[in-house]
Structure 1
């Protein structure tokens, strides 16, 4: 099956999956497949009950509910990608921008080689400055990452990979069963620190959305910047 057909099929499946489980699906789903990632960007996605909670500024309650539901959906998403698109996803990350009514799902394709080789080392303009800002934010939120890399999946999607960012108190909270509370708090903190205007200055384009998620077991994190494509 051609890449565009696969992307269209995944977009259709995702829209239906979210509509069936949330009561309302996204108005648009944008799928991008660029080894070793698959990204699914959702726009205009906010269920009626969630709209009420967001109106009451109860953002964390919405995110907590979505987290629990996503944990149920992730195995189904992985199985569907494997059967319909022959894409063997090892890990899935996700995040939401309730203000923008958008969301991101990121699948990392299973590799035969070590995970260290997942990311392309191709350069792009001001890559070092992007990494400097990511390290600065990480130091303010927890500690400087042991490793940072990034790549453009396409003209509008920049993925940043951080490894080795958890501090000892966070690891203790995870072991004590407070992973969900930690995830919710870290989302709020890091997304306040990730200033879109700084990245707009570095990348010379508008930042539409910023998403963050973690794998506490692997001690790694992905930051995804959704950019406004430049006019050619």
Structure 2
């Protein structure tokens, strides 16, 4: 029997939740998966385990992040073949971002051969202008900004050329603690401007993630929308 897209998504969500529970001793309260174009997303809520709580309460956020990344990377190695088999795509890149304050996180799987979204021009111009203004205050002004995914649930903007020379040097030296700290500060600035983004989207935003790829000098800014539309 051929499975529907919804059945495939439910299967993958259940599969990942079980794998996470086996590795962490606890699975996420919510594990929502979605495919948009050549990207596959996993959005999770309420997934902090007691060991992480101890680190977070001790203000050891970098240790908590490194611990989670190590385990997640192991889980993903087992999960990716299942995703590729079910969806029929070969995913070449995987990245993630976590918000311990909100207890949410996102996994992003992507294919090298990306298909560009067709976006209404005036909307795209307004959104990219705001991103450009905020980005230039918090990190190097991006050399390229483009919307790569947009639906009623999610919007993803890819930014290229976002690293300062010092940041590239820090990455090459392997000082990831400094980069993790900076990434959190940058995301705070975007969250502080959430109302400005909501005005442009005319949607209530549930979460904002910034998924960094230091090796390729880029990041993905991901907006997760609440289900309801805003009232003007």
- Mark yes or no: TM-score above 0.5: yes
Q: Flag structure 1 segments of 5+ consecutive residues without an equivalent.
A: 112-116
Q: Say whether the 8 Å CA contact 1:147–1:162 is kept in structure 2.
A: yes
Residue 131 (structure 1) shift: 1.1
Does residue 1:119 correspond to 2:116, yes or no? yes
Q: 1:56 to 1:26 in 2, by over 3 A?
A: same
Alignment-derived partner of residue 114 in structure 1:
none
Go from structure 1 to structure 2 and tell me whether the alpha carbon gap of 1:6 and 1:125 turns closer, same or farther (over 3 Å shift): farther
After the TM superposition, which segments of 4 or more aligned residues of structure 1 sit over 4 Å from their partners? none
Residue 184 of structure 1 and its aligned partner are, at CA, apart by 0.7
CA distance in 2, matches of 1:54, 1:127: 37
Q: 2:182 aligns with which of 186, 190, 203?
A: 186
Matches within 5 A, 1:51-90: 51-90=53-92
Matched length: 226
Aligned positions of 1:16-165 closer than 5 A: 16-111=18-113, 118-123=115-120, 126-165=123-162
* 1:183 to 1:19, Cα distance in 2 relative to 1, 3 A: farther
CA distance in 2, matches of 1:126, 1:153: 12
Structure 1: distance between partners of 2:63 and 2:169:
24
Moved more, 15-24 or 58-67: 58-67
Equivalent position of 1:13 in the other structure: 15
Report what 2:216 is aligned to.
218
C-alpha RMSD over aligned residues? 2.1
Pairwise CA distance, 1:57 = 4.0
Post-superposition offset of 1:44: 1.6
CA contact (8 A) 2:34 2:41 kept: yes
TM-score normalised by structure 2 residue count? 0.88
- 1:228 alignment partner in structure 2: 226
Question: Do residues 209 (structure 1) and 207 (structure 2) align?
Answer: yes
User: What's the CA shift for 1:77?
Assistant: 2.7
Deviations 1:181-210 (A, max 9, x none): 244123212111102222122222221111
Residues 3 and 136 of structure 1, relative CA distance in 2, 3 Å threshold: same
> Contact 1:10 / 1:31 at 8 angstroms: preserved in 2?
yes
Residue range with higher mean Cα deviation, 79-88 or 15-24: 79-88
- 1:33 & 1:160 partners in 2: Cα distance? 16
Any unmatched runs of 5+ in structure 2? none
2:149–2:156 contact (8 Å) kept in structure 1: yes
